[in-house]
Chain A
Amino acid sequence: MNDTNWKLEKRSTGIPGLDRMTCGGLPKHQTTLILGQAGAGKTVLTLQILAHAVAEGGGGVFVTFEESPAQVRRNADSFSWGKALNQSDSWFTIDARLPVGAESAGTFDIDGLLAAIQAKVDQLDHPWVVIDGIDQLLQHQPDRAFAVDQVRQINEHCEKSGWTLLLSGKAEGDSVSPRHLEGIEYMLPTTLVLTAAMIDRRLHRHLRVAKYRGSAHVPDQVPLLIDDDGIQLPYHAVATDERVKAGSDRVSTGIVRLDKLLDGGPYRGSSTLISGRPGTAKSTLSAGFAEAAAARDERALYVSFDEMQAPYVRNLASVGIELQPHIDAGRIRFCAPSAQSGLIIEHLLMLQRQIEEFDPHLLIIDPISALIKAAGGESPRIAVERILALAHSRGITTILTSLTGVGDPEGESTSADVSTVADTWIVLDYNERAGERNRSLSIVKSRGSAHSNQQRELLLSSDGIDLADVYEYGTEVLMGTARVQKEIEENVANRRRNLGHEQRREALERRIEQARSEAERLATELELEDRSFDEVRRTDRDYIDRIKSRRDPANREIDGGSDE
């Protein structure tokens, strides 16, 4: 490599998590040092990277200082990519195991090793070179400083020769590097450190990018899994950092009244936590979501850590939720792993694979608390965040259930702060009153939605799930028989009130009627009075006139003369 070609180029390892942690892969034409204890996965890592290179049309050489070439090939063969690797003739193995009883008398050079590799890769463009277990050779170097220097020499050689080198060495005890090669982890441009430790009688493997000169990288120690597909780094295996447009689309919960409480239902791509004590119908409510999704012709992935499919589906049928037809039609996938059987990251990996394979619109994890309880040295919060981030980035609506105890509304999910992370939090509970338990539902929070903060009664019947309208009584919310009782009492009182009003009204109307006829009678009386009074007045006037005329002298003669 000359001075004009100094830019750092990277080569993909084919391991999505590692490529993401190293922002593109390992440095081309440089050495990557891979250190780790026995069983930490060094050889598998190098074989897997080589298998990817071979699958992409590249090639290389695998120098083995510990296992025989046959063992190396058998090792590769146990993975999904091993068959293709073993059938390819674009890579070679070099058996560099030291003879038994090998000793040294003075310092030695490693030019022979480099010459042997060069002879093998001469025909290849940009070969990958794996030197697995370099410590096996260099431990015979009497001068430790010189041994460390030889690691540097290997790095210089590979830069000069255009090799992309993976150099592995076995760490011992608590040290990162081999005992006689202390300090080499800081010497090479890139160093990966693998660890394997027994915690609770389970093997926990981790990987860390201890150094990557000239490149951004994730410096965290992340859990590593080895399964049929080889090395997996579930925490970084899938891209979750894509910005997702916040949708305004609402997803029905399957319960009309609950939808109404949530302003139409949770947002698509949001997460909802349903927490509650045992038997508060968390699973039933979740199944309602699933059925509603399937009814919209969407796919729902139901991950149940508590129950197997058959009894679960049967129990739901008794409350009117029929999942079987949807399962048969492939709209609902039921997945029932045992919570105890795996590490947190094993579950995480399983979930990632199920999500990628099934591509659901709705994801239900029942309960998320089982996942949190699963064995694992690391914080379950990261695992939960990863799942939610993955779901969110794919627009998947998530329902998580969580078991709680008395007086502990957040319960087991608190340790992972699920209630903080979730967009909507529905709390289910029992309401004990008058010798009975009634299920209640309340919405503690719902981001971006107007929602009622009041408890509702959750009703399960053969017709499905429903919510009863709250019955407020003073400062209390009544449920069950108490609610019914109170309703009856209230109705009676209402009737009583209504009845009294009618009676009073009728009485008053009657009195108005009476008053009206009295008024008529009095009016008649008044008329008669007026009429008789007029009569009297006219009679009186006639009498006076007659008297007047009799007393008039002018009229007397006449009066006397005639009888007029």
Chain B
Amino acid sequence: MNVSNDRAEAQVPELILFITGNAPRSRRARRNLDEALESLGLDSVEPLEIDLMEHPEHTVTYSVFATPALLRTDSSGDVQVMYGDLSEERKLADFLDDLRRIQ
């Protein structure tokens, strides 16, 4: 997986979910994100998943030190991050809302 190339090629806003192995919170975050995308009608969005246990170097590259973390890059290049297992639906929906408008 070449993350930086993927990012460069994709001109659309992008979601990256950072996880650490099979940690319970990481699994919960993955499930919560999938459900939220579906309910918001964003099925087409394919979040990129990076396991920091496998690639600890990406911790520094993306400056993500807490997991799970959801990283959203706007078309303007602005990066927003949301930490946690994404169990707070409202917050997650707000975070993804911009994504829906652009789509």
Chain A positions within 8 Å of B, measured between CB atoms, are: 94-99, 101-113, 115-116, 118-119, 137, 140, 142
**Contact indicator B53/A115 (Cβ below 8 Å):** yes
Chain B residue with Cβ nearest A118? B56
- CB proximity of B85 to chain A, nearest CB, Å: 4
Q: Name the B residues within 8 Å of A104 (CB-CB).
A: 82-84
Chain B residue with Cβ nearest A140? B83
Interface check B23, CB cutoff 8 A: yes
What's the Cα separation between A415 and B69 when bound, in Å?
Answer: 60
Chain A residue with Cβ nearest B85? A106
- CB proximity of B73 to chain A, nearest CB, Å: 11
Of B4-12, B41-49, B58-66, which stretch is located at the interface? B58-66
What's the Cα separation between A94 and B53 when bound, in Å?
Answer: 17
What's the Cα separation between A103 and B80 when bound, in Å?
Answer: 9
Chain A residue with Cβ nearest B28? A106
What's the Cα separation between A109 and B91 when bound, in Å?
Answer: 19
A-B contact pairs, 20 of them (CB 8 A): A98-B63, A99-B63, A102-B81, A104-B84, A105-B87, A107-B85, A108-B66, A109-B23, A111-B23, A111-B53, A112-B20, A112-B64, A115-B52, A115-B59, A116-B59, A119-B56, A119-B59, A140-B83, A140-B84, A142-B84
Please pick, from A95, A96, A105, the residue contacting B92 in the complex, using a CB distance under 8 A.
A105
Give chain B interface residues in 23-55, CB to chain A under 8 Å.
23, 25-26, 28-29, 32, 52-53
How many A-B residue pairs lie within 8 Å, measured between CB atoms? 108
- CB proximity of A88 to chain B, nearest CB, Å: 20
Q: Name the B residues within 8 Å of A103 (CB-CB).
A: 81-83, 91, 95
Q: How many residues of B contact A (CB 8 A)?
A: 35
Please pick, from A108, A111, A112, the residue contacting B84 in the complex, using a CB distance under 8 A.
A108
What's the Cα separation between A111 and B20 when bound, in Å?
Answer: 7
Name the residue among A96, A116, A142 with the largest chain B CB count within 10 angstroms.
A116
Q: Name the B residues within 8 Å of A115 (CB-CB).
A: 20, 52-53, 56, 59
What's the Cα separation between A431 and B23 when bound, in Å?
Answer: 88
Q: Name the A residues within 8 Å of B63 (CB-CB).
A: 95-99
What are the 6 closest A-B residue pairs judged by CB atoms, nearest first? Answer: A106-B84, A116-B59, A106-B85, A106-B87, A105-B91, A112-B52
**Contact indicator B25/A95 (Cβ below 8 Å):** no
Please pick, from A98, A116, A118, the residue contacting B60 in the complex, using a CB distance under 8 A.
A116
**Contact indicator B60/A112 (Cβ below 8 Å):** no
Chain B residue with Cβ nearest A92? B60
What's the Cα separation between A99 and B86 when bound, in Å?
Answer: 18
Please pick, from B18, B56, B79, B91, the residue contacting A99 in the complex, using a CB distance under 8 A.
B79
A106 and B25 contact, Cβ closer than 8 Å, known pairs A113-B59, A116-B52? yes
Please pick, from A106, A109, A112, A142, the residue contacting B56 in the complex, using a CB distance under 8 A.
A112
What's the Cα separation between A137 and B69 when bound, in Å?
Answer: 12
What's the Cα separation between A85 and B32 when bound, in Å?
Answer: 46
**Contact indicator A112/B59 (Cβ below 8 Å):** yes
Please pick, from A96, A98, A106, A112, the residue contacting B88 in the complex, using a CB distance under 8 A.
A106
**Contact indicator A109/B92 (Cβ below 8 Å):** no
Q: Name the A residues within 8 Å of B86 (CB-CB).
A: 105-106
Chain B residue with Cβ nearest A142? B84
Please pick, from B53, B59, B68, B80, the residue contacting A108 in the complex, using a CB distance under 8 A.
B68
